[in-house]
Amino acid sequence: MLKPVSSKRFRADGAQLAIVASTYNARYVNAMVQAARDELKRARVKSVRIFRVPGAYEIPIVAARLARGASRRAQTSTASSTFSAIICLGVILRGETAHAAHIGDAVSHALMQVQLQYEVPVIHEVLLLENEVQARVRCLGRKHNRGTEAAQSALAMARVMAGLGP
Domain membership flag for residue 116: yes
pLDDT tens digits along 45-65: 989 999 999 999 999 999 999
Asked whether residue 111 is domain-assigned, the answer is: yes
- Note whether residue 59 is domain-resident: yes
- Structural domain includes residue 57: yes
pTM metric for this prediction? 0.89
- The total of structural domains in the chain comes to 1
Which whole-number Å values give the CA distances from 141 to 20, 30, 32, 101, in the listed order?
21, 12, 9, 25
Backbone angles phi, psi at 13, to 5 degrees: 50, 45
The answer to whether residue 10 sits within a structural domain is: no
Q: Does residue 126 belong to any structural domain of this protein?
A: yes
Residues carrying an active site annotation: 99
pLDDT in tens, 90-147: 999 998 899 999 999 999 999 999 999 999 999 999 999 999 999 999 999 888 899 9
Please report whether residue 3 resides in a domain. Answer: no
Q: Is 2 within a domain?
A: no
- Supply the range of the domain harboring residue 124: 16-164
- CATH for 74: 3.40.50.960
